[in-house]
Amino acid sequence: MPPLLRAYLALTAAADPLGRRLIERRRATGKEDADRWPERLGHARAARPEGLLVWLHAASVGESLSLLPLVEALLQRRTDIHVLVTSGTVTSAQLLSRRLPPRAVHQFVPLDLKGPITRFLNHWHPDLAVWTESEIWPRLVHETHACRIPMLLLNARLRARSLRRWTRASGTAAALFGCFEVVLAQDDATADGLRRLGAKEVTTAGSLKEAAAPLPADPAALRDLQDAVDGRFVWLAASTHRGEEALALKAHAAVRRVRPNALLLLVPRHPARGDEVAAAIERERLTAGRRTAGLPGPGEAVHLCDTLGEMGLWYRLAPISLVGGSFNGIGGHNPYEPIALGSVVLHGPDVANFADIYRDLDGAAAAVPIHSSDDLTREVLRLANDTERAAMRRRAEAIVAQGSEALETALRSVLDRLPDVQDGTSIKGPPELL
């Protein structure tokens, strides 16, 4: 075992007593669920279902959404199995609790400490473990592999910075990535990087986000919003981070000089920043209302969408979307979601999280990179033209449709490694950890 990994395992075994204190501090700041926090210490809230259990792990909201089509397809193909989905954030838990189908259950992933992981694996003892994207918890990977649970890494993605960090700990990387029987990478760069890090069977399969179902929206709420903005030109700044709101607001002030009835829907990535974003709107001297206070009024220039779980409404309402997280080192957010709902995509220069799809979209004039508020003003006004926007939308939809094989490839990889249930008897999970 590499010295660095041995040291990490020793440290996380000795740090068990700190786990509860850490969770208590996170609860105090709203980062843990007030009722379900014991799950983070490995205490399950539900019984393990009989028979085969597939465990899928996703880090947060975006990864969780990308797993939903796989979960649904898996349960349709194999009626004899159940699915456990884990994630680490409160918002992802809320989303999954609403959208997981029957025979699927959500739990918070345990802290990467000996005690919580032992309790988690002893309770659930899954027959197959499926990890997604790039969140690798060393002890959880190590202990799962030690229990002889087959492990897959799907929808894998490594940014250049992560690859450099793993390369500096090459022995530990080889020990961890070598635990996965199969790795399906989103792009060739990730596949090459993972091979160098010691992953075994690596294939480029595309992104599961391409296969995700369109974000849902409450029909009555959508009708009310459509009536409230009827006749107005609406555009959206979606999942914005600090600094991006100022760019969008400056552009919107210029847009309104040409189109006085224009309405900007401004959706910060973290609604808790609502007051901060409201202050930025006030500095730009634009009138604003807030979603938490009701529907957009006729006198509003900006509607601050300070709620969770309503992106399906905003993408349906706005034919043009500036996708945030793309100006400030975040790496960009998901372009598939607006495209699936007919909203054309503008984005900043930092799109490393979705580099391949943005490259294809930009190359086909199916999305537009933005570098300044002047760029943004110009493109929003250009795409206010229905003909220009419709042509761009068709190009984007054609490109996204090319990646539909990713779901089937992932599904086949999972199904191929699931044991059969013979003679109606359940296959038991691995023995308890010592």
What one-letter code names the amino acid at 153? L
pTM of the model: 0.73
Angle subtended at Cα 160 by Cα 156 and Cα 161, rounded to the nearest 5 degrees = 110
Give the pLDDT of the chain (434 residues) as one tens digit per residue: 899 999 999 999 999 999 999 999 999 988 999 999 999 999 999 999 999 999 999 988 878 888 988 999 999 999 999 999 999 999 889 889 888 999 999 999 999 999 999 999 999 999 999 999 888 999 999 999 999 999 999 999 988 889 999 999 999 999 999 999 999 999 899 999 999 999 999 999 988 887 777 889 999 999 999 999 999 999 999 999 999 999 999 999 999 999 999 999 999 999 999 999 999 999 999 999 999 999 999 999 999 999 988 999 999 999 999 999 999 888 999 999 999 999 999 999 999 888 888 999 999 999 999 999 999 999 999 999 999 999 999 999 998 876 568 889 999 999 999 987 543 434 444 444 44
**Alpha helical stretches, state H, 290-367:** 311-317, 336-340, 355-363
All domains of the chain, ordered by start, with CATH? 3-207+405-416 (3.40.50.11720), 219-401 (3.40.50.2000)
Sign of the alpha-carbon dihedral angle for 121, 124, 130, 134: negative
The per-residue DSSP string of 137-159 comes to: -HHHHHHHHHTT--EEEEEE---
Assess whether 63 carries a catalytic annotation. Answer: yes
Side chain identity, residue 298:
P
Contact 109, 85 (CB under 8 A): no
Catalytic annotation, pick one of 32, 39, 63, 210? 63
Structure tokens at 330: 């975040």
State the virtual CA torsion across 120, 124, 127, 128 in degrees, nearest 10.
-50
